[in-house]
Structure formats: C-alpha cells, structure tokens
C-alpha cells in the first residue's frame, strides 16, 4: 500500500537533470527539453514532488519551473494536489504513454497467451520490457488471477532487473558486455535476505536460466512472493520482453517450480513464434 507521508529531504538527493547540452539552440527546443526533464523528474516519484523539489532536481529557477508546470497542467500532463502541495503526473501523460503499448504488437498478441497461462497456473501473469538505460524492467500489461490473495504489479511499475524474474530472464538473453553495463548502473544492492548481491552468483544464476529456459525470483524483491519468467525474442533472437507468473511463495513451493517453469517457458515460446521471433539460445 502506498504511504501518504512525505519523504525526507535526504531521499530527494537524486542527480540533477542537466540541460546544458540541450539549451544552447532554438528557444522552443530548450522549452521542450525543460518540460521533458520536469515530467521525468515527477514520474520518478510516485508520491509527487513540490515545486522546490522539482526545481532542485532539474536545475531550474522555481519561477521558470512553475511556468512550465502550469502550461503542462493546462494540457493535463501534470496535476497539482492542493492538500499535499505536490505535483503529480496527469492523465494526458498516461494516455500518451499508453500509445506506446498500443504501438507494440507484442502487447496485444501476448494477451490471449497470458490469459491461458493464468488459467493453467492459477497465478497472475505479467508482461514487461527492459529499460536498459536504467537497468530496470517496466511492466506493460497484466492478467490477474482469480484468487482472493494475489500479487499485483501495476502497468508502469518499475523494478531493478537483477532482483526480478522478468529482469533476470532478459539479462540471461543479453551479451556479457550488455549485462555488465546494466549491473554496473544498478549495482547488486540487497533488497531482501534472498537478493543476489554477488557478481559471481549472478553469473551462475544467468547461466542456469539459459539452461532452464526460465528465471525464478525466489523472494528476491519482495518477501513472501515468488515469480517465474521467460523472455520473448524478436526475429534476431534478441530479448524484447518477458512474461511471468507471480504469486505467494506458499502457492509456488519448491516442488512446483519446474512444472510452473515449463508452463511459462512454453507460453513465452508461443508468443515469440506468434510475433515472428526466435530464441537463439535454446530450441
């Protein structure tokens, strides 16, 4: 459940967004660059940011920041919450972002396969893509299971690749250099007692995933939850997305992981075939 309390100033110490490389040209381009930087800053904090916090993060004077915010507010890209005094992402930003999902056939093609996987496994099924620039995965779509108690990863939610099943499934299909670059960005920070924090252990984990054809998040990102995922590849055998089934560890015991893994792997292979892709690392 999302907390309604404001974060301390120390938690707002993210690097400022530099505009120097984009601000020397045409004034309209500068304004667009500033507006995008402000949107990105707000999007990174689901609880919203005050004007002062946004101004500090993007490196702009409060007056300039406020002019951009009010303009974007008129277009519904941001909204102001009077009670808490913070700016949040607006509905138009969501609608614009949703167009990306619609433009990728994988989302619509995958949905019937995801639904069948949910029916076969009894657990919630997710579709995610990699944000390699940050080393995160972004959830695009979900088919919820029918259990009263179920795990939910909302579309748009982002988590580090190294501690998620979908992320590890994608990492396992990447080159060693690509994996090294991503892990250098994120590090292997401990999130739970089961998070993999050793580079050697992560290399062994990725090797096992390539052999099994599926990845397992064994309570590495959230205690009490297990997730099993497999990558979807394009026509060049490159990873473009991953599907996963997610549920309470009590419903995904050790003795069922291989069985569920086969279901997920088969669903991923079917979606890969449906989009005209292939998986170079396994038949």
Lowest-pLDDT range, 144-153, 171-180, 195-204?
144-153
Higher pLDDT, 128 or 275: 128
Residues paired with 158 in a beta bridge: 138
The whole-model pTM stands at: 0.67
In this structure, which topology does domain 13-95 adopt according to CATH? Arc Repressor Mutant, subunit A (1.10.10)
Q: Does the pLDDT of residue 4 top 60, yes or no?
A: no
* pLDDT at 148 (0 to 100): 67
* pLDDT at 63 (0 to 100): 94
Residue environment code for 38-76, b if the CB has 16+ CB neighbours within 10 A, otherwise e: bbebbbebeebbebebbbbbbebeeeebeebbeebeeee
Q: Does the pLDDT of residue 24 top 50, yes or no?
A: no
Per-residue pLDDT reduced to its tens digit, 69-109:
999 999 999 999 999 999 999 988 877 876 665 555 788 88
Answer whether 89's CB lies under 8 Å from 104's CB. no
Residue partners of 252: CB distance under 8 A and separation at least 6? 123, 226, 228, 260
Q: Does the pLDDT of residue 52 top 70, yes or no?
A: yes
Answer whether 106's CB lies under 8 Å from 271's CB. yes
CATH architecture of 104-274: 2-Layer Sandwich (3.30)
Residues paired with 138 in a beta bridge: 129, 158
Confidence band of 35 (pLDDT split at 50, 70, 90): very high
Domain ranges of the chain: 13-95, 104-274
């Amino acid at each position: 459940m999302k907390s309604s309390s404001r974060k301390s100033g120390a938690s707002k110490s993210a690097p400022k967004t530099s505009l120097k490389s984009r601000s020397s040209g045409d004034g309209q381009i500068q304004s667009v660059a500033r507006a995008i930087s402000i949107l990105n800053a707000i999007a990174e904090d689901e609880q919203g940011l005050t004007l002062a916090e946004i101004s500090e993060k993007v490196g702009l004077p409060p007056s300039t920041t406020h002019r951009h915010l009010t303009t974007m507010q008129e277009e519904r890209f941001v909204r102001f919450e009077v009670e808490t005094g913070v700016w949040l992402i607006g509905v138009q930003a969501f609608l614009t972002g949703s167009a990306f999902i619609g433009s990728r056939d994988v989302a619509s093609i995958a949905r019937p396969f995801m639904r069948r996987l949910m029916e076969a496994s009894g657990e919630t099924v997710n579709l995610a893509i990699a944000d390699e620039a940050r080393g995160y995965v972004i959830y695009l779509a979900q088919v919820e299971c029918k259990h009263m108690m179920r795990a939910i990863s909302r579309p748009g939610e982002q988590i580090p690749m190294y501690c998620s099943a979908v992320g590890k499934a994608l990492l396992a299909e990447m080159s060693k250099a690509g994996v090294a670059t991503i892990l250098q960005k994120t590090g292997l920070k401990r999130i739970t007692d089961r998070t993999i924090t050793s580079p050697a252990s992560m290399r062994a984990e990725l090797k096992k995933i390539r052999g099994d054809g599926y990845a397992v998040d064994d309570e590495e990102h959230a205690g009490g939850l297990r997730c099993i995922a497999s990558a979807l590849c394009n026509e060049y055998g490159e990873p473009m997305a991953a599907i996963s089934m997610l549920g309470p560890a009590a419903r995904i015991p050790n003795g069922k992981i291989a069985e569920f893994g086969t279901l997920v792997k088969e669903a991923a292979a079917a979606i890969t075939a449906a989009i005209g892709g292939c998986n170079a690392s396994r038949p």
